[in-house]
Structure 1
Amino acid sequence: MQTLNIIDNSSSGFNAFQLFNDKPMVSADRILNLIEQLQSTLCFEQLINRFAMEASKYADFSGLSFQYQDGIANMRGSRPGKFKEQIELRINEEFIGVLTYHINQRLNQQNLDTLQELHRYLAYPLKNAVLLHQANQLAMHDHLTGLNNRRFFDDQLKKAINHAKRNENMLSLMLIDLNKFKQVNDTHGHHIGDIVLKEFSRVLSACIRDYDTAFRFGGDEFAVIIEGADTTSVANIEARIHHKTQMNSLLSKYDVSASVGFSFLHNNDNEANFFNRADQGLYKQKVAQPRGPLRIV
């Protein structure tokens, strides 16, 4: 894997025109047009597609992808090739991501040199896209537990309902509340309460499927959006939550248990009544302590 590390010593920030001092192999007009195209978006896919259109004039490749810490963006119509050529992008030694070219014939040195020149104009827009992605991730996640937050829940629930109705799939919403959590805070302090919340979040994540989505609303309230699961599957998730909570040494030490309520989507549901039925099920569980059979509404 080759590495491109751009050293930026300018106190005023990056100036693309400084790169022209290196006698570029690509014409100045083409470079200016590329810079303009790349600076007009912070979408990974758009950046890769716009860059690929220019790069394809100097090298033959069937696919191009950019892999960053949290994901991967692919060129439109990207296809595997016989070989891969990978370029690690860095700015002032800071890792940005890895570009992977899918090629059927090894690139010669002139091809590589030209691509490396073009990469210098791609690196900063990709870095800005990574920073925006990280900021969005922070905005959508609960800082204490690492789960998704209520703001993200509202958006995801609407999408899940639309997807389920469009594809006639089952959809369940599970709401969870911790029992005796207030006593933990009152008796042992909020520091211990935070530890309990983080531990339950870890337990909850271990109880759901990889494609289910867990959220923390705030306090000791949690939710899980469960797509494509029938009543048996959802009941199994609920049973795992109770079992693992009970068997967890930290949670059992503070006598913390979980109440669970959920609902299945009806054809005439919107977000509000779908949520309210799950909330009613949770309330019935709280009233029915100690835990009895799960109430499905």
Structure 2
Amino acid sequence: MVSPLHSNGRAELRDEKVVMPFGDLAPRPDIRPEVLLKLSGKLQTTLELSQLIEIFFTEIQQAVLIDGLTFNHAPNNILLSQGKASVHSASYRLQTQQDYMGDLMFHRSTRFREHELANIEGLLSTLVYPLRNALRYHEALAAAFRDPLTGAGNRVALDKTLSREIELAKRHGQDLSILMLDLDHFKRVNDEFGHGMGDRVLKEAVLSMTDCIRQTDMCFRYGGEEFLIMLSSAEEAGALRIAERIRMSINELRFTGDKGTLQVSASIGCSSLKGDDSMESLITRADEALYVAKKHGRNCVISDCDMAIPEPLDKQTVPTPNPNR
């Protein structure tokens, strides 16, 4: 059913709609059958979301003039645009009885007329099922690169992403840093509180990490209770600030179980990209810094540039005074 058009007082037309079958539309679309047939065929040639939106934008201009469109699927954090934004817009929520498939906004410098909106709605009916298939494909790919317990990226995703980002950072002369994070005494959590509690700790720790990083950064489960966080365009000082924020956030977590309250902490090693670094050397330096953090009391952040720090006083060997000197 089509809701009435309305203005928001800024000469910007925003018409929230839900796409329904042709029989429920009023007025009916006035589109040549060959246009719909051609569009339907082309939309079935790809499962890539960006290509699908680009094809749709290009082809529908045979039936209605638009300056641009924006596709947004918030649950999957997808935002795609074609053309340019203009003063007037009309928005549609794409949904079947079972699936929400995002919101599509059309932009134009002049107001949309009723028959043009009817044509847009007719054209949208050819997009619904190709879009649903593309979203399912996108979700399947994402699941293949995601740790099923925590939602962090897995080792396959890490290898693909970090090697690509290192290459791009070197090519464009940009900064890149990584953090290696290990939850302290995690074996004791499993042994004393049970593996169910251990799973809770891992999930909440990942939420703490992702809350502390930017959208351009990524968190990966490296193995067990160890995580790697990739910080794009971050030099050493910026990476250390983020690492300290993560350490403090995790240290504030509290868990209550049958055996009492549990507090967790994390040790973090940091390394920043150098000109001759490979993915392996960058990770090795961060891992060595993490080892130093563990050795020096845990619940702290150590940079690869700070690894030559002295032993704690209580672990140093104090020389015996020589009475003959």
Q: Of 263, 274, 281, which residue of structure 1 is paired with 2:271?
A: 263
The RMSD of aligned alpha carbons is: 2.5
Structure 1: how far apart are the matches of 2:158 and 2:298? 29
- The residue number in structure 2 matching 1:10 is none
After TM superposition, give the deviation of residue 141 of structure 1 in Å.
2.2
Is 1:135 aligned to residue 158 of structure 2? no
Distance 1:92-1:254 versus aligned 2 partners, 3 A rule: closer
After TM superposition, give the deviation of residue 6 of structure 1 in Å.
4.1
- The residue number in structure 2 matching 1:254 is 262
- The residue number in structure 2 matching 1:204 is 209
Q: After TM superposition, which residue ranges in structure 1, 4 or more long, deviate above 4 angstroms?
A: 290-293
Alignment of 1:27-106 (within 5 A): 27-69=32-74, 70-75=77-82, 78-92=83-97, 94-106=99-111
After TM superposition, give the deviation of residue 125 of structure 1 in Å.
0.7
Distance 1:3-1:165 versus aligned 2 partners, 3 A rule: same
Which amino acid in structure 2 is aligned with residue 43 of structure 1? E
Structure 1: how far apart are the matches of 2:246 and 2:95? 43
- Spell out, residue by residue over 1:256-290, the C-alpha distance to the aligned partner (whole angstroms, 9 max, x if none): 32222122211111111111121122223223335
Percent identity reads 31
So what's the TM-score if we normalise by structure 2? 0.78
Please tell me whether the aligned partners of residues 63 and 102 of structure 1 are also in contact (alpha carbons under 8 angstroms). Answer: yes
After TM superposition, give the deviation of residue 108 of structure 1 in Å.
2.4
Q: Of 6, 15, 18, which residue of structure 2 is paired with 1:3?
A: 18
Which amino acid in structure 2 is aligned with residue 3 of structure 1? V
Determine which structure has more spread, i.e. the larger CA radius of gyration: 2
- The residue number in structure 1 matching 2:162 is 157
- The residue number in structure 2 matching 1:237 is 242
Structure 1: how far apart are the matches of 2:253 and 2:96? 44
Which amino acid in structure 1 is aligned with residue 20 of structure 2? N
SS of the equivalent of 2:62 reads coil
Unaligned ranges ≥5, structure 2: 1-15, 23-27, 306-325
Which amino acid in structure 2 is aligned with residue 71 of structure 1? I
Give 1 or 2: higher helix fraction.
1
- The residue number in structure 2 matching 1:195 is 200
- Spell out, residue by residue over 1:50-76, the C-alpha distance to the aligned partner (whole angstroms, 9 max, x if none): 22233212222111222223222222x
After TM superposition, give the deviation of residue 93 of structure 1 in Å.
5.8
Alignment of 1:165-180 (within 5 A): 165-180=170-185
Please tell me whether the aligned partners of residues 217 and 223 of structure 1 are also in contact (alpha carbons under 8 angstroms). Answer: yes
SS of the equivalent of 1:294 reads strand
How many pairs does the alignment contain?
Answer: 280
After TM superposition, give the deviation of residue 100 of structure 1 in Å.
1.2
- The residue number in structure 2 matching 1:273 is 281
So what's the TM-score if we normalise by structure 1? 0.84
After TM superposition, give the deviation of residue 210 of structure 1 in Å.
4.2
Unaligned ranges ≥5, structure 1: 8-22
- The residue number in structure 1 matching 2:3 is none
Which amino acid in structure 1 is aligned with residue 163 of structure 2? K
